[in-house]
Structure 1
Amino acid sequence: MNLRGIVAVSGRPGLYKLVGQNKAGYVLEGLDAQKVKIVASISSTKLASLEDITIYGEEEDLKLVDVLANIAAVKGEVPDAKADAAVLRALFVDVAPAHDQDKVYTSDMKKIVTWFHLLKDLPLFSEEAPAGLEGQEAPKADDKVDKKAKAATKPANAKAPSKAAQPAKKVNMTSKKGV
């Protein structure tokens, strides 16, 4: 499941795809049928990537990606988010048996089921996540080594361009008298 670039925006319902970024904020496109594009302010809006969201567990937190994959593997019909709280609790006992039942509220379950219904028909739901890119945007150390290796392989006899090859600078020959 590839959820890279899919975010939840605080204060807004639904999920959004991160399209880009400009000076004013993040450019987001809604995943619902309307495909609304919005610009969320960098300073006042909180974005949560679905790859980074975890659910409270009894011993350790559970990744949302794993819970969504377990929901997809459920045999039969996945209940709607408006289903009874007991139905949602029973679903979560099946798909996330190690979740902390005291800390995971029914509202959290409703939100996760709503997100599942938004994502299940998208092609990114069935494609694999890129290998080795688990939430890391920084360049790899190998990239730095490659740049140093390229600099080291530069020929020793390569010189800076001579002054004769550079265009002559224009000099302002006018003078102001009486200033």
Structure 2
Amino acid sequence: MNLRGIVAVSGRPGLFKLVGQNKVGYILEGLDAQKTKVVANITNTKLASLEDITVYGEEDEIKLADIFAKISEKGSTPDVKSDLRPFFLEVAPGHDQEKVYASDMKKIVTWYNLLKDLPLFTEDTPETPGSPAEVKLAEEKVAADKKTKSTATKSAGSAKATTKISAPAKKASMTSKKGV
């Protein structure tokens, strides 16, 4: 199961595929039928990669991909409006029942229902550092960081040059007006 590049965005329902990044934010494409493109602001939007999400366990954390695999083996999912605790005990044995809330279970089942029909759900996770889009994003970020550092160095250097060239400040004379 290849969950690389699939993200959940705080404050937005559904799942998104990370398409790219520009200076304003992340470019995301909705995984629903509408395939809407969204630019999520870098400064105030939180993205959670499904590949990195884990569920609290009593001993070890359980990866979301492992839970999805067990749900897939099971075949069907219950209605998200019903009690999901018995179902979740089967697909995620050993999860911490106090820390994993019903809303978390509902979200996981909903995500599974969104992903199960997509081709990436049956793909194997690549062993490479990332998809071509992610590699390109990482390269662009490194290039942008270098550009920012060189621009900051140049502007700091020009500020130093300006201070060296500027004329000394004139002494202010103290005058007072009497009798006004």
The two structures have a TM-score, normalised by structure 1, of 0.71
**1:63-142 alignment, distance < 5 Å:** 63-75=63-75, 77-82=76-81, 84-85=82-83, 88-133=84-129
Deviation per residue, 1:64-113 (Å, 9 max, x gap): 011111111104x311222x22xx11111111111001110000000000
How far is the alpha carbon of 1:132 from its aligned partner? Answer: 4.9
* Aligned residue number for residue 9 of structure 1: 9
Segments of 5+ residues of structure 1 without an aligned counterpart are 140-179
Q: The residue matched to 1:73 in structure 2 has which SS? A: helix
Structure 1 runs of 4+ aligned residues shifted over 6 Å read 134-139
The size of the alignment, in residue pairs, is 135
Q: The residue matched to 1:27 in structure 2 has which SS? A: strand
* Aligned residue number for residue 48 of structure 1: 48
Alpha-carbon RMSD across the aligned residues, in angstroms, is 2.0
Segments of 5+ residues of structure 2 without an aligned counterpart are 140-180
The two structures have a TM-score, normalised by structure 2, of 0.71
Tell me the percent identity: 67
The residue type equivalent to 1:35 in the other structure is K
Deviation per residue, 1:119-164 (Å, 9 max, x gap): 000000000000254899779xxxxxxxxxxxxxxxxxxxxxxxxx
